[in-house]
Structure 1
Amino acid sequence: MLFAVGGRWDIAVAAWIFPVLLLRFTRLSRAWSGALWIWLAHLGAAVFWVQESAIGFNALVFAGALALAAVQTLPFLADRLLAHRLRPAPAALVFPAGVAAAEFLITVVSPFGTAYGSLAVTQHADLPLLQVVSVTGPWGIGFLIGYVASTVNRVWDRPSWRGGLVCLAVLLSVLVAGGARLVFFPPQSTTVRIAGVSPSRTVTERLRTTLDRYTDGQGGVAAAPVAAVRPAMTAVEDDLLASTRREAAAGAKIVIWPENAVRTQESQEPAAIAAARAQARRSGIYLEIGVRVYSTTAPAYGRDEALLIDPRGTVLWTYQKAHPVPGSERYTPGDGQVPVVRTPYGRLADVICYDADFPALMRTRADIMLVPAHDWKEYGGAHTAKAALAAVEGGYSLIRQDAEGVSAAYDDEGRVLATADYFATGQQTTAAYVPVRGGTTVYDRVGDTSAWLCLGALAAITVTALVRPRR
């Protein structure tokens, strides 16, 4: 299970193996003592993921790990208590329905989204399988993995190949349908050149050194003398503007900067935005900029924003991050209304970094989704890889420009169009030719219907098992 947690050391096949073995353990154990061990196993996996991803461990993170492990234990407990009271067909559905329902509930009731607890993210490189999320959302992959685990245990208990053949037929049908979609229905529209640029490591380190002098944190930076911080901030802005000019001259029609690319005190924000507007106007491009505003207003002491500027220099939207990272970001959340504008290059939309881990927020009718992000070395690659799911679910191309991480562009079927690693170059730039027209997916239309069906089926199976158990 440690290699199927949505981290940098994931092995895709591990996500299919560990549920088989944990479910076997549960079925051979007493119900409540077995559930306790399963809960401890999930807690251990959560702690491993935190350490693997170099996330700061604090009381909130530990409390979250405890709660998530408890939710992830419920499908195993449900299978242990109900499966032996049911006929084979409904018994085989208890665990997969429970897995899908638990993953869905985690995104609904917790602040963690699909960042942790979703088996689908471990399969981001399996494009034929990944196509199923355009119908079911990420819960479909969790259901399939649970279905395989339940079926293997059924055959293990009582060798009967009927159930195994049905499971194999379902899995092959999903893979064949996904492969057919990739082969026969690739993106057909024209493309637009989009470039993502990040500031050079030299100016980034200089700015970090300057801001680290203020030990009282964001409020201290906001209250610092302008002359003490502005030169380092301006150097980053100038670097980004120079990169923007270069990419526009190379043919880019849309340029995206990462999250917090521009760091500015509140009083200086209009000047920073004016410089970006002037550059968009001179280059004749759509320019999306990430801005970290330092304010003296407690408790947030600032804002995390993304602005889209059109070729005339007009600001089309100012979007504020809707999901600050629990335990590490204190921004006041935005309203969660994803902005969408029509352009000659399709409908452009925008969210910021961690927002993309919430499937409900990402269900937006768009052609191209811009995702400015800011990660770190140990987690940037894994976090960006998960964005492939959002592209397939939403039926749009997605460009994630990640400061201090891995940037990537995906088409609406999850193909990687371009990628760039901040730590492999002194000047990170991502350039890709991106389809200007997306498509409407079943998941976009029906939402989380599949997850609710799993919850309903689990409730119905529970009632059946309790009222009319199999003799």
Structure 2
Amino acid sequence: MTDTAAPNRPLSATARPARSRGHTWPLLPLGTLAMLFAVGGRWDIAVAAWVFPVLLLRFTRLSRVRPGALWIWAAHCAAAVFWVQESAIGFNAVVFAGALALAALQTLPFLADRLLTPRLRPVPASLVFPAGVAAVEFLITVVSPFGTAYGSLAVTQHADLPLLQVVAVTGPWGVGFLIGNVASTANRLWDGASWRGALGCTAVLLSVLLAGGARLAFFPLQSTTVRIAGVTAGRTVTDALKATLARFADGPGGVAAAPATAVRPAMAAVEDDLLAATRREAAAGAKIVIWPEEAVRTREADEGAAIAAARRQARSSGVYLEIGVRVYSTTAPAFGRDEAILIDPRGTVLRTYQKAHPIPGSEKFTPGDGHVPVVRTPYGRIANVICYDADFPALMRVRADIMLVPSHDWREYGRAHTDKAAVSAVEGGYALIRQDAEGVSAAYDAEGHVLAASDYFATGRRDRQTMVAYVPVRGVTTVYDRIGDTFAWLCLATLAALTVTAARPRRRADR
């Protein structure tokens, strides 16, 4: 006689052992607290990025589906609010809506793990969360205007150079996958699984670290260098210009329509300071000089004269000169443009680039076409983007040797934003020079080493804001540069395949 019994299924999506529920709630505040220090802000702690997914994933596995997902969404909302506050960005409608939407996206890997892992075998189940983390990080840069400014775990690991080398293969999504894999494995052990999965996870992580360390130790960058100087106008003339512009309550449109006598003297003082700094650094041996984003502020009627003065200086000093220009126009709604202009030693304008990604909610510039210009020079292939553009990996994937990034941040966010540039340098295989008007300027080589750095608010001199770096003139070709976001798409495909597999009904077995 055959007795047909119920299938040997894992626990359902709503049923969990009663003995576990009493230990659920401490995990949520602890995980949320750890996540606050792993958001890509000035108070980041690298290890917190590895801790919070373990705790929050445990919370979702021990919770019912719907309330668990809502609490994880609330935790990510809290992290987003914390990031906005610590970075002094300021809330507006776009930032608020973005925080809610990003938190919802970041909840998806936890929800997928909660729904799919009980219906999968151990090995494929272990891939749900890491693939979900990498896929969501990638989707954030594709469907949202925030790039990697928020929501990327790779930026929290910018100082761990052996680990950071993995982004030269996978893009930033590889770091998120590794962190997710550790969280998934830790929870399997928590559930009483065998140590074989932990050994596999450890082997993968150690392999990445060993390979990254070997690249740094045995394949150092071999190239001649060029002296590059980043110059920012002194604080005396900068503060005077700020005071002048603040008098126009109607903003950029009012500045553009103002009489020349009301604004031109303060603007000219900043330009003269930058031109003098360029002469000084050229005389000291610099071959490339970069000014910050919006270093020159000019009305549309005066733009030609400002650029002509920079061209004369580049020609007389014999340098490649990259200038950031903020043009004030009376044309609504942008009332101007945000440009970066590269001038060669003959005084010829080689390119004019417009910012492709204005900051959501605070910049109304018409975006540029997103085509990153690359110019061949005796010092390698030179490319440039502007500030926030560098937070979009697809835009930064260009064949270049040196990437110039004129930028303009503020005290609370300057260092955190510049730290993230190390990830872009390793991804692209080029040296990256980020000259920040009011933040931290830094130069990185293609392996993420800091070649030079300068803090605008920490320098002792009010009238000399300069960073000098000797930068390799030859970059390297990375795997990520060749295959693009293939790893991210594989993670998306893996998550889709696991979802289909988990949705299939299981066969009932005879006992």
1:376 maps onto 2:441 in alignment: no
Q: Is the 8 A contact 1:87 1:470 kept in 2?
A: no
Aligned pairs for 1:290-309 (under 5 A) are 290-309=324-343
- CA separation of 1:469 and 1:320: change in aligned 2, threshold 3 A: farther
1:131 maps onto 2:165 in alignment: yes
Determine the C-alpha separation between the residues in 1 that align with 2:90 and 2:256. 24
Q: Which has the larger radius of gyration?
A: 2
Q: Is the 8 A contact 1:86 1:470 kept in 2?
A: no
**Equivalent of residue 210 in structure 1, options 240, 244, 247:** 244
Determine the C-alpha separation between the residues in 1 that align with 2:442 and 2:507. 52
**Equivalent of residue 495 in structure 2, options 448, 455, 458:** 458
Deviations 1:112-139 (A, max 9, x none): 0000000000000000000000000000
Query: 1:377 aligns to what SS in structure 2?
Result: coil
Determine the C-alpha separation between the residues in 2 that align with 1:372 and 1:454. 33
The residue type equivalent to 2:502 in the other structure is A
Determine the C-alpha separation between the residues in 1 that align with 2:466 and 2:129. 44
- CA separation of 1:244 and 1:469: change in aligned 2, threshold 3 A: farther
Note the residue ranges of structure 1 that are not aligned, 5 or more in a row: none
Deviations 1:37-90 (A, max 9, x none): 000000000000000000010111110000000000000000000001111100
- CA separation of 1:469 and 1:461: change in aligned 2, threshold 3 A: farther
Shift of 1:469: 4.7
The residue type equivalent to 2:204 in the other structure is V
Determine the C-alpha separation between the residues in 1 that align with 2:209 and 2:232. 37
Determine the C-alpha separation between the residues in 2 that align with 1:251 and 1:94. 54
| Count, aligned residues | 471
2:255 alignment counterpart: 221
Determine the C-alpha separation between the residues in 1 that align with 2:118 and 2:211. 33
1:400 alignment counterpart: 434
Shift of 1:160: 1.2
1:340 maps onto 2:377 in alignment: no
1:445 alignment counterpart: 482
Q: Is the 8 A contact 1:75 1:94 kept in 2?
A: yes
**Equivalent of residue 224 in structure 2, options 182, 187, 190:** 190
Determine the C-alpha separation between the residues in 2 that align with 1:155 and 1:274. 67
The residue type equivalent to 1:212 in the other structure is A
Shift of 1:394: 0.3
2:120 alignment counterpart: 86
Determine the C-alpha separation between the residues in 1 that align with 2:39 and 2:165. 21
Moved over 3 A (4+): 468-471
Shift of 1:158: 1.2
Note the residue ranges of structure 2 that are not aligned, 5 or more in a row: 1-34
Shift of 1:231: 0.3
Deviations 1:339-386 (A, max 9, x none): 100000000000000000000000000000000000000000000000
Aligned pairs for 1:152-163 (under 5 A) are 152-163=186-197
**Equivalent of residue 17 in structure 1, options 45, 48, 51:** 51
1:146 maps onto 2:183 in alignment: no
Q: Is the 8 A contact 1:74 1:98 kept in 2?
A: yes
2:279 alignment counterpart: 245
Query: 2:91 aligns to what SS in structure 1?
Result: coil
Determine the C-alpha separation between the residues in 2 that align with 1:398 and 1:183. 21
Query: Percent same amino acid at aligned positions?
Result: 82
Shift of 1:470: 8.8
1:386 alignment counterpart: 420
- CA separation of 1:86 and 1:429: change in aligned 2, threshold 3 A: same
**Equivalent of residue 74 in structure 1, options 89, 98, 108:** 108
Deviations 1:86-113 (A, max 9, x none): 1110000000000000000000000000
The residue type equivalent to 1:210 in the other structure is T
Shift of 1:468: 4.9
Aligned pairs for 1:51-130 (under 5 A) are 51-130=85-164
- CA separation of 1:123 and 1:470: change in aligned 2, threshold 3 A: farther
Deviations 1:256-276 (A, max 9, x none): 000000000000001000000
Q: CA RMSD in A?
A: 0.8
Determine the C-alpha separation between the residues in 2 that align with 1:469 and 1:380. 54
Query: 1:378 aligns to what SS in structure 2?
Result: coil
